[in-house]
Amino acid sequence: MKTSVFSLFLLAALAACTPPDLGIVSFRSRNDRGPHQPGSGAHDGRTGPGDPGAFPEIKLDTTLYFSAVRFPEGYDWQRDTAYGSVPFELLLYKDFEPVLALPSGADACFVPDPDRHHLLSGHLYTERMADGATRIGRDGVELFRFAGREYLVGLLEDGEDLLTLSRPAKGPGFSFRRNGEALIVRTDGAPFGDLADPSYATTGALYRDQGAVCFCFTAGSGAGRTFYAVRDGQESLLDGLPPGAPVLDLKLRQGEALALQDPVRGCRLGEGRIWPLPTGYAVTGRFADGAGFYSGYLDAQGGPLRLCGEEAALYRTSQGTFAVSADGAGTVRWYGPESGQEALPCRFLTPACASFPGGVPWLALTPRDTQRHPFVRAGTRVREVDINGYVSGLAVTVSRLAPK
């Protein structure tokens, strides 16, 4: 099943731009089925890069979930002298109240690594490689395991089922599974996106478009590199993209494959991501200038616009574009409509330690001073978490109550 060109330069509506400078091209499948029909899993209402939802002006009720790792008092976990041998607890909090405390052990389906903790729908999903297998758990209970050492790049709930997209710990390839049972296995290629990429939302490289479960991947290398989209387990070759095209990001939205190519508006990109919006698109990335690279964005208002000179985690919301950077000395800064710098030297462990609901920065930070506790910052409000350890990630969920 191949996919052909539908509309070569979709972003022509962006201000003051000629289409060939925009870097994003789009394609529609010849046998596009239109809106997803029931039968391949219930759509649960969550949004992803292909299903961005709307941003109405409404009153909101906010709930904070965060995961944390607690070590025994007196153990200096930041020195990492006994990693893997010291017991720990994995914690889940809801609005600063602990709802789970999971002790480590040989049979546990989790490890202390922050990038192996995933908050989704109020649950804490975890992954662990042990004894030649990969274990996937939810709230401390192992759901399934499969042979091989792999790490998750996509995680999507589908009714009572759990869909995963994973890559080998070493080498190319990937596996798409339902409840641990392989649906697609390739020994070559690499998916676009992962669970640490804010532009792919909380579900990572797996997401929904028109109700279908989707992801994109590339195979081959150099001039022979080719590009594919997958919808509900069916692969489509994107033959509108020539082999070897300089594609930085590839996402599906409303039946179209959106490809971000370098350069963008005449600017070189070291890396870049597409952010589908309710109306139009935005691009974030590392843009080149005469002095090197800067973290910035472009959208319908113009650009590329600079956020900061540092390499940073980039986030796009209806209130604007934000960046969080952390250097080797522990200086943490955030940029955007609301900018600031943390007074204490801290660790910003993963991009999952930041969120910007309503344009307010929510940050989970861990002081480098082991005598201090980790804390969550929401704008100017700060609250400590009374543990010897760190907060590994946060998720701010917003309930829609009523129109303003």
Strands (E), 187-291: 190-191, 207-209, 212-219, 226-231, 234-238, 247-253, 256-261, 269-276, 281-289
Q: How many CB atoms lie within 10 A of CB 304?
A: 22
CB 231 within 8 A of CB 237: no
pLDDT for res 299: 87
Domain containing 82 equals: 2-403
Mean pLDDT estimate for the chain: 85
Checking if the pLDDT of 49 tops 50, the result is: no
Encode burial over 111-144: b for 16+ CB neighbours within 10 A, e otherwise.
bbbbbbbbbbeebbbbbbeeeeebbbbbbbeebb
- Percent share of the chain, pLDDT over 70: 83
Checking if the pLDDT of 80 tops 90, the result is: no
pLDDT for res 52: 34
Query: What CA–CA distances, in Å, run from 360 to 42, 313, 385?
Result: 32, 16, 20
Query: What CA–CA distances, in Å, run from 239 to 2, 27, 73, 137, 194?
Result: 7, 9, 58, 38, 24
Does the predicted model carry a pTM greater than 0.75?
A: yes
For 202-219, the pLDDT digits (tens) are: 999 999 999 999 999 999
Checking if the pLDDT of 84 tops 90, the result is: no
pLDDT for res 12: 27
For the ranges 17-21, 80-84, 279-283, the one whose mean pLDDT is highest: 279-283
CB 173 within 8 A of CB 188: yes
* Total count of residues recorded for the chain: 404
Number of domains in the chain: 1
For range 70-78, the mean pLDDT: 91
Residues 6 or more apart whose CB falls under 8 angstroms from that of 385 comprise: 66, 68, 93, 96, 373, 374, 375, 376, 391
For 237-265, the pLDDT digits (tens) are: 998 889 999 999 999 999 899 999 988 77
Q: Residue 279 maps to which CATH number?
A: 2.130.10
The first and second tokens of residue 73, run together, are: 């008092």
The first and second tokens of residue 179, run together, are: 């409840």
pLDDT for res 266: 78
Checking if the pLDDT of 134 tops 60, the result is: yes
The first and second tokens of residue 42, run together, are: 């219930």
Checking if the pLDDT of 5 tops 80, the result is: no
Confidence of residue 83 (pLDDT cuts 50, 70, 90): low
